[in-house]
């Protein structure tokens, strides 16, 4: 396993639409392992493959709190259906838009159908934080970020904030 760099805005690769996976094999599991390790290293709760530069339809999520056992879920070629009419606001963040948080409204319940780590098909209802997280990660597969739902002013401000942060990080790394 390897910790890989997480892409941040305005990296154009984050706007790419990810491609479906042909089969769940050892090479794909190696990618999923890297994704999980990279997500944990960055203190994230969800990660899409494109965030480490791989444009394939793969997501990892672990919503367990720090005092709980890990609860890792892997999603290959996930599809959402049956979204609830009821929308709920939730304050979202993203490893590709570090230090920026804002409230987004999404359906509070949705069905997710996917292949798991072993290639087995699973279909289940996601609610609450799980529903928020899977919808946020699914957006990444379409090249959509949560800041794309905000006003242009807020979005530009977010991108500038991240650019500045990255520049400071580069300077610190060089020092």
Please return the burial class of 135, using the count of CB atoms within 10 Å of its CB with bins 0-12, 13-18 and 19+. Answer: buried
Task: Provide, rounded to whole angstroms, the least separation between the CB of residue 142 and Ni ion.
Answer: 12
Contact residues toward Ni ion (CB under 5 A) are 94
Q: Which is nearer to Ni ion, 58 or 94 (CB)?
A: 94
Distance CA(145)–CA(29), nearest Å, equals 25
Distance CA(1)–CA(66), nearest Å, equals 22
Q: Which is nearer to Ni ion, 21 or 144 (CB)?
A: 144
Query: Residue 141 is encoded by which pair of tokens?
Result: 């597969």
Task: Provide, rounded to whole angstroms, the least separation between the CB of residue 4 and Ni ion.
Answer: 15
CA-to-CA separations, 135 to 38, 80, 111, 162, in angstroms, rounded: 20, 8, 10, 23
Mark whether 137 is an active-site residue.
yes
The catalytic position among 68, 137, 142, 170 is: 137
**Cα 23 from chain centre:** 21
Q: Which is nearer to Ni ion, 94 or 134 (CB)?
A: 94
Q: Which residue is nearest to Ni ion (CB)?
A: 94
Task: Provide, rounded to whole angstroms, the least separation between the CB of residue 124 and Ni ion.
Answer: 21
Among all residues, which ones are annotated catalytic? 137
């Amino acid at each position: 396993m390897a910790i890989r760099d997480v892409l941040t805005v305005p990296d154009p690769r984050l706007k790419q639409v990810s491609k479906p996976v042909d089969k769940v094999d050892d090479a794909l599991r190696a990618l999923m392992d890297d994704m999980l390790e990279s997500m944990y290293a960055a203190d994230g709760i969800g990660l899409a493959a494109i965030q480490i530069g791989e444009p394939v339809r793969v997501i990892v999520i672990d919503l367990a709190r720090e005092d709980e056992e890990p609860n890792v879920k892997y999603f290959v070629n996930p599809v959402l259906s049956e979204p609830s009419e009821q929308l709920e606001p939730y304050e979202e963040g993203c490893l590709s838009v570090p230090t920026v948080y804002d409230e987004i409204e999404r359906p509070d319940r949705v069905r997710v159908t996917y292949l798991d780590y072993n290639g087995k098909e699973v279909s289940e209802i996601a609610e609450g934080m799980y529903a928020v997280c899977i919808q946020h990660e699914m957006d990444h597969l379409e090249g959509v970020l949560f800041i794309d739902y905000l006003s242009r002013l807020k979005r530009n401000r977010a991108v500038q904030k991240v650019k500045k942060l990255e520049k400071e990080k580069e300077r610190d790394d060089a020092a």
